[in-house]
Chains A and B, each alone.
Chain A
């Protein structure tokens, strides 16, 4: 069995380069397609960039919430796998996810979630290559904290804005 992996993330370190989106879509879609990337970087205010991706909650509410059993857990990596033939685009997984991470693919309109690239995530590779280290790969068993990283990116952005801009940060995202 391969070692458990997780993508640790620190939005304060994100440069906003979007190379993670580009490499992810090249890997999964064959071409540059930011809005079909499994990691999506939100920028509700310039300078406040928040990479948004699945956190692999221990209890997988998305899998539990799917009425057609289209979602399953990759036994090796812990990633959520989507059976596109079974997905009926109902949006139950989006609603079940604490961070509204899944989204409907702009091409086939099926639920789309990070698959951890089967064990060696490309986004982490390019982020590290550029020295940003916003995304880092860790080998550690699942823990309860992962789920709290599944959070609406606008809420994360509001906190980050206060961290970077002080009081002013409270005003920059509506």
Chain B
């Protein structure tokens, strides 16, 4: 640590917005140099803020109560390093832990250039509002006219409205660009527990259910337009050179640029046998209709679509121009949604898949998490646990209209949708109660880890990048972007990107050394891969672990018992080249122990006293002692 340094490190705007929605009070806060060096930004600093603001009261705090902070965070690298993203956090309405949930958006860039590294919202507005940040100031604007609108409508309305406001307030500067926006759809408004914070019509901070947190605060959107420049960095000339170098490396990664993750709808099914099919009953298929060329030839209207400062351009714009789903616009869909809004529903038609992906985004669901819940309902229907009477119609695999209907019901909490809106884990418990069944008889069909529905990468074939303990050990549960591969990956992998806040796909190509040189040139911190793995990474992970252990009030995760995969991941694969193979439970247990040991946690995953001291987390000792 560069002891006693003060001021604002490179890459940071230097202050945060601190907004009390109950009192309509807008203030700013700053964080000391040392705290930024320790926690960086995004997921790291968000966890620290949550500790400072909630701390001891964590177990009693209802995730949907006004006191739960909703945090929007950039990081020092955001926008400067290729692939700008934003990170949202808070006590998760999905699992009572802390998830750093990210999405690519210009909002991150505008926010930083407006002079803010992030926003902390507490309280609850009496009526719907949106936060408007411009060079003219920060204000909460009435959003009654936006409440109830879907993603597309919200973007269209906000773009026009804010542009008009700016043109009126500052008419002499010339043409105003559109604002950058983040918002919730009906799902977030109706407190769907795994709903997303959305942006750019089809991008989402999906894990954690922070759409519901925004909804609980009556906060519909955040719109930002600034004309400011990026914060100063420690070594600007070096950064300029490295910026060009990183891009050269990204441009060399050709399959990603050509197909994005869109090639995996077929690839993960046929190639690696790790794709959710009918709520993970199978993971293998040979359905060429899901081949990337079927999307490309018929639906892609823009083959190279990039977010801010990105040349990986994994995004492709899809549009259905005629037929039943005419007018649907989304991205690729990316692999996750090809799987979750496709094979997971037994749907293999590219058009139907685009439609359901678009619908998820329009309604503000997380296309992974929400679709996992809808898929669960379909399996419960298949098994006769849920009936036609419960649902209101037949819910057969492959029936796009039925899945369309149920997805809407979940967003508006209509009928059975009201139960499903609680997210897969809580919904299963409610359904068990409703049916008078033992909880485990329904929970065995829920594919989640610690209340977070698992991303579309299975572990049974062991052929994907996700393995035995990837989800089981992760402090973000089923989040496929926060996976743990060995004792070190967690510390050097996405936790880093989520705290520096840039895209994990703009990290593919450039070497790790190059990325850390970049970080050093931006921040001036003496950071490198070793310090990240040994200190910063474990610090943030350990803090997140503490939150998980504290949990509550309605759900708490048990050490060891809940550090595990869902039952389905131990069933043998029923088909494909790896038929019969399954996740090796013994290996999971062994590797989890090794992982705990690496992190300095005890055999039950409780952080040890000396670990807390070493990581400057002494404030946790009193609380962790209770669990040892």
The chain A residues found within 8 Å of chain B, CB to CB, are 12-13, 15-19, 22, 25-26, 29-36, 40, 42-47, 52, 89, 91, 94, 100, 102-104, 106, 109, 126, 129-132, 152-153, 164-168, 171-174
Contact = CB atoms under 8 A, between A and B. Distances in A.
A135 B202 CA distance: 26
A163 B100 CA distance: 38
A46 B311 contact: no
21 contacts: A12-B302, A13-B304, A16-B305, A17-B309, A17-B313, A22-B243, A25-B229, A32-B79, A35-B177, A44-B178, A47-B302, A52-B175, A94-B174, A94-B175, A100-B174, A106-B173, A164-B317, A166-B322, A167-B326, A168-B321, A173-B159
A89 B171 CA distance: 12
Nearest to A169: B319
B245 to A, nearest CB: 12
A164 B156 contact: no
B159 A32 contact: no
B155 interface: yes
Contacts of A171: 156
Contacts of A165: 301, 319, 321, 327, 329
A31 B174 contact: no
A164 B302 contact: yes
Contacts of A46: 155, 200-202
A174 B157 CA distance: 7
B584 interface: no
How many of chain B's residues touch chain A, expressed as a range?
35 or more
A103 B201 contact: no
A156 to B, nearest CB: 12
B306 A16 contact: yes
Contacts of A103: 173-175
Given A17-B308, A35-B229, A132-B304, 4 more contacts: A17-B307, A31-B230, A35-B227, A174-B157
B317 A153 contact: no
Interface string B171-192: 0111101100000000000000
A91 B326 contact: no
Interface in B268-317: 301-302, 304-311, 313, 317
B251 A174 contact: no
Instruction: Pick the most buried of B106, B113, B174, B240: most chain A CB atoms within 10 A of its CB.
Output: B174
B228 A106 contact: yes
A34 B159 contact: no
Contacts of B304: 13, 15, 131-132
Chain A to chain B: the 10 pairs with minimum beta-carbon distance, closest first: A103-B174, A33-B229, A106-B227, A168-B327, A35-B227, A174-B160, A166-B321, A17-B306, A47-B317, A15-B306
